[in-house]
Each structure stands twice: as structure tokens, then as C-alpha cells.
Amino acid sequence: MKTLKYLLIVGLLAVNTTFAQTSAKDWLIQPFTQKSEIKVLKDGKLLEITNGLITRQIRISPNAATVSFKNLTTNEQFVRSVRPEARVVINGKAYNVGGLYGQKEHGYLLEEWIEKFTSQSEDFQYARYETGEVKPHFDWKSTTWTANKNLPTGKSLVLFFKSGLPLLKGLEVAVHYEIFDGIPLLSKWVSIENKSNSAFKLTQVVNEILATPEEESAVVGKPEKMKKPQKLYIENNYAYNNAMRYELSDQATHWKIDSSYTSQVNYNYETPCVVEIYPTLGVGIDLAPDAHYKSICSYELLLDSYDRERNGLARRKMYRTIAPWTTQNPIFMHLISTDPVKVKSIIDQCAETGYEMVILSFGSGLNMEDASDDNIKKFKELADYAHSKGIKLGGYSLFSSRRIDDENDVIDPVTGLPDKGAFFGNAPCLASKWGINYLNSLKKFISETGFDLLEHDGPYPGDVCASTKHPGHKGLDDSQWVQMQMQKEFYQWLNARGVYINAPDWYFLDGSHKIALGYREVNFSLSREQQKMLNRQNIFDGTWDKIPSMGWGFVPLTKYQGGGAEAVLEPLSEHLNDYKQLMMQYYGAGIQACYRGPRLYDTEATKKVVIETINWYKKYRDILNTDIIHLRRPDGRDWDGIMHVNPSLTTKGLVMLYNPLKEAITRKIRLPLYYTGLTKEAKVRTENGKATTYQLNRDYSIELTIQLPAEGYTWLVIE
């Protein structure tokens, strides 16, 4: 028993102090200054992509294949077996892009084996490489408050491949890699250029194939039930399904078994240990002469822990780095009218209280599909008025969940009928005549009115369409891919013009700015007491993987989805405490909510509360828009809270604590301060009080006694 206790203690110390021992070198706390580089090794036979945090090595003789992918912080290797760099299906046949052969043991890979590996003539053969700097994938113009205005830096590597087969003459396949400074992250995609005089049917493109070590060994067990590697996080720009979470939205990451790995523990060779990245339903396009194709882009983040918070911080750092537009976070409200008098009135209220944007909400009467001169004139005048007051103006447009007609709706491939096979029962096809006109009308409306935001309800590119008459796609095979590409182009067009995008799905890597935290709409017809608790739960749950500015909440100022007088805030002056607490809960999390109604204030007392809350938010805006450490999830039985941290700011942390109980409470609360960057002491003040100095414990935490008012909250500043 003594031996067992000793081993348990040593194990716990190893887990808890791995990063505490090297906090000065922790890339999540201190900026990692080593720059990315591309190295040529082994007499020109090996290319290495590295940034000091990760390294990927690609053997390029006699063909190209990744032979090492390693986390340099933990020295953990993610390649156990050599695979091709990509795979393409052209004219009905699959071809490997690169690849080395001769490995007999697939449970691990030794360097001395690599020299004896050979290539196969039917594979696309490595021809040359190019290096350069990381470049933006599309233009981005920030016109709102933005936490990070810097695009990522790093190095790029492109490997070019050609086929020796006469049938594939003129096709050039390029495999692209990017490695980013200061983060253990690499991206990869494939492009294909047709330099021949003939068209090729491109059915599928697999842009990544990695044979990784298994996460667990089990004698029996099916791949769908067994654990996948937890320290390799892959995110692709091909995600949808309205789940508001990436893992559930991902449509391209496929974990597979490896029957060549005959020394695995699983008797049926069913361990999930090969990851392939490709769109499940394929590409399905005809690649015409002189045409160019770009695949899904995958981002591969090597994690160094099993800790949920740390891994969440790493993912959030990824978004801030590669998708800085997600750090835009304007203060907005939702107006339920397009009456020019009411619109101008709310613009004035925004200007008076410190709000920055008005969104003409669903149900307001806005129709951006109407690109007539009269409609554009009306809303241009309103946008001009908003801009004269320093306020931005935008609005809502519905694409999905609606029926147009038999000619333009998506056609169900099973029944051949419209109005049957869409994600939400019915939807137009974006590549139909109506859909193409819809995009053109929105572009015209936004360009000519000067609108600053699009709140876009759809489109959902998961919808497939079996029509062979829509001008934008040829049939079922290419329908999903084409609709996705049209949507990407539209969102990137908006970004180039500085137009902010609220969208209902996981389109962040292609330019959307904000998504819902995740909610059930009818919950906003519940009582205000329930809404306060449920909203805090939504905030707590919705910020493990998203940064605060990526999510929006909801506050129904007027009746929404049913509900009685106990559910709404109007008249605002009669529910001022609830109104303020709902604002503080969201602003205290760095999250914008849709305050949906006719006004922001109804009396001078209400106006004062709104101004005070917005001023408080703006005073602490920098720290409130930083990462959240999750302290205690709301359960209605005791205190709950979150803590913002940022080691690069003077204000290292800001804590929001809530008491749902009907009596005041006093609690001793532990604050984990490791990610604030503080190492010895912390100065903590409660709201605007005097600061008290605390010595940090060995685990970088402090304990303090907090008094919380009944059914109320408080906040702490850490310096």
C-alpha cells in the first residue's frame, strides 16, 4: 500500500507541475519568439518544417512522404507509419500523391528503414518545392473593435507532383503546408491545375493522410467506440450542421482502421489510428482545361496535455492567430422595426449610451433581397444617418428554412422531389437561378447602402441537390461542394469590404465572425430568473473552445417565442435589476447578446444604468475579451463564476462571481492564476475597492474570502 501511495503521489505531481516548472517558456503564457523556418536536410533528401514548437519532416526521395510529425514540447511523435501526402480520385480511379513503400512493421517507424523505401510508378511523383511566407487566404478589413488586428506570420512550403501516366498528362498537383509562428500549428491543403486540353472528372481529394499512434489498445472494440488520438486536434474549413460546436459540425475528418498494422493489439485490426481529411460526399466536379481546384484546408494543432482547460486555451489561441476576424466584437442591439423614425431613434439611443451597431432583426421588415432603387435609397439614408452618429448599421437575411418553388428548391436525391431533402425540411439551392440572384442582390444591396453587418440565417451547404437544371451545378455529385464554394466566396467578399458576419454555423475559417453560444429558442419565453441562470450556463459551456467574441447570446426585451410578463424586460424601468444583471452576465463574459426590442432605455434611470454598464465594459474591454478560465458551473445551489486571464495586459485577470441563492453568502474561493502569468504575488481588488496583495501558492493559486449579495454578483480585478 505504501508503494502504491508513493506512485500515486509522484504521478499527481508529474501531472500538476509539468507546465508550472517551465512557465517562463510556456507558449500559452509567454510569446514564443522563435520564428518558423524550412530546412533542407540529409543531402537534400529531407525537408523540415519547424517553428520550435512542432516539426514535420518530409522525405522527398525517391518520392515525397511525411516521416515525422513531432511535438517538440513533449517530444511526442505522431507518425508511426509512412503514408502518401494526399490521394485524388480522377476519372473514377484513385491515385496516391507521393508515397514511400517498404515498411514492414507499422507499429513504429525507425529512421534506418527509410533509406530502403521505394516509390511506385503509378503514384504522382514529387517534382520540386517552393518556400515562402504565410499569406492571407482572403482579404480582411476590420471596421469594428478588434482585439487582434494582426494576420498570422510563418512559413509556407509547396510540393509539386506530376504523373508519368499518359492519361494524367497535364495535371499538376500541389500539396501546400503552412507553419505559424508562436503556436504548435500547421495547415495543409491540396491544389490541382489542369494544364492539358481535356477535362478531368475530379471525384474526391484527400488532402491529409496520417497513420498515427493509437490512443488506446484494446483486444476487442469497434473503431467508432474506441478513443481517437487526443493530442492531435484537426479543424477543417468544411463544417456545418447548426450544432454550434466544431466537433459535431466537422464533415471532413475520418478516423480509420489500418489492416497493414498487423502487430496491433486489436484482434480484428479495428483500432482507429489513421486519419484522412476529405469531404464525405466528395467533390464531384469537372476540372476543365486551365481550371484550378483548391481542396479543404486542414489545421493541425499538436496539444501537450489532456487537461480540458489547457486544450481549450490552445484552440482559442488558434482562432485568435489564424482567424483574427473572430476577435472583432462590436456592441450591438437588435431592433424589431424598419420604420425610419424608430430606426433613427434607436441610432440616437446607441450613440448616447455607447453602443456601436444596430442590427435590423428578423421580423423587422428588412428585405435585402429587394435591390430596387427605392429600397436601397431608404436604407442607404438610414445607414448614412447611423454613420453620421458614429454607429454602424446592418441587418438580417433568411436563406434556409424557406420554400421558393419547385424550380429553385433543393431536389431530394431519394424521391426526386423538392421540399423533402433539406436540412430543415425545405430550402432553396444556392446554385439555382434564384440562389445566384439572391447572392447578387445581397451584394448590390450591401454595396450601395453601405451596410456594415449581415446576420445570415443559412445557407446550410450540407443540403445536396439532385437537380440537373440549376445553372450553378451539374447534378447531385457536385451540388454540395459548389454551394459551399459559393458561400465561401460570398463571406470572403464581405470581409474584404469590412462587413461583419453573424452566421448560424461553423464558418469561422472562411470569414464568419460570430455564432450563437448554443441555446434553445423557447427558453427565452421562460421567466427572467430562469433565463439568468440558463444564460450563465450557456456562457460557461459555450466558452470552452470559443473565444468570447465568437459567440452571441440573447436577451428578449419584448415577448419572444411565447411567454408571459415574467419573461420579458419591457417596461425596462420596471425590471431594471434583471436588465442590468443580464447585461453584466454577458458583458462580464466578453459576449455580445442580441438585446432584441424597440429601445435600449425608457427612462432616465434606465438610460443611466445602460451607460454605466457600457462604460464599465469599455473600461475593461481588453481583459473581458480575453480567455476564460472556468471556475464553477452554475447549478443554482451555490456560487458560480468565470475568470478572464491575459498575461500580456496590466490587468492580468478579471473575475465574475454570482450568487443565485436568496441569502447573502460568504465563501472561500480558490483562483488558479497560472495563466495570468503571475508567479509570486497578485494584487486583487473587489470592484472599485482597495487592492489586497496575495502570495501565490506553489500551484500558482490564491485563496480569498468573498461575500456575495443575495441573488447578485460581484467582480474582482487582478493585477
How buried is 4 (Cβ within 10 angstroms: 0-12 exposed, 13-18 middle, 19+ buried)?
Answer: exposed
Show the low-confidence residues of the chain (pLDDT under 70). Answer: 1-24
User: Model confidence over 497-540: pLDDT tens digits?
Assistant: 999 999 989 999 999 999 999 878 888 899 999 999 999 999 99
The residue ranges of DSSP E strands in 339-447, in sequence order, are 357-360, 392-398
Rounded to 5 degrees, what are φ and ψ at 191? Answer: -125, 150
Give the single-character DSSP code of 466: -
pLDDT tens per residue across span 327-381: 999 999 999 999 999 999 999 999 999 999 999 999 999 999 999 999 999 999 9
C-alpha cell at 494: 464581405
Q: Which helix (H) or strand (E) holds 516?
A: strand 515-516
Contact yes or no for 356/613 (Cβ under 8 A): no
Q: What is the residue-wise DSSP string for 96-133?
A: EES--B-----S---HHHHTT-B--TTSBEEEEEEEEE
Specify the pLDDT at position 519.
Answer: 78
Block residue for cell numbers 523505401: 117
Alpha helices (H) in 275-372, listed in sequence order: 308-322, 340-353
For the entire predicted model, the pTM comes to 0.95
What is the rounded distance in angstroms from the CA atom of residue 692 to the CA atom of residue 660?
A: 26
Query: Residue 14 has what pLDDT?
Result: 35
- Specify the pLDDT at position 341: 98
Which phi-psi region, left, alpha or beta, contains residue 700 (left: φ > 0; alpha: ψ -120 to 50)? left
Calculate ∠ Cα 710-711-715, nearest 5°: 90
Kindly state the helix (H) or strand (E) to which residue 619 belongs, with its residue range: helix 604-619
Q: Which residues in 22-55 are b (16+ Cβ under 10 Å) and which e?
A: ebeebbbbeebeeebebeeeeeeebbbbbbbbbb
pLDDT on residue 23: 56
Q: How far apart are CA 175 and CA 159, in angstroms?
A: 5
Provide the pLDDT for residue 9: 36
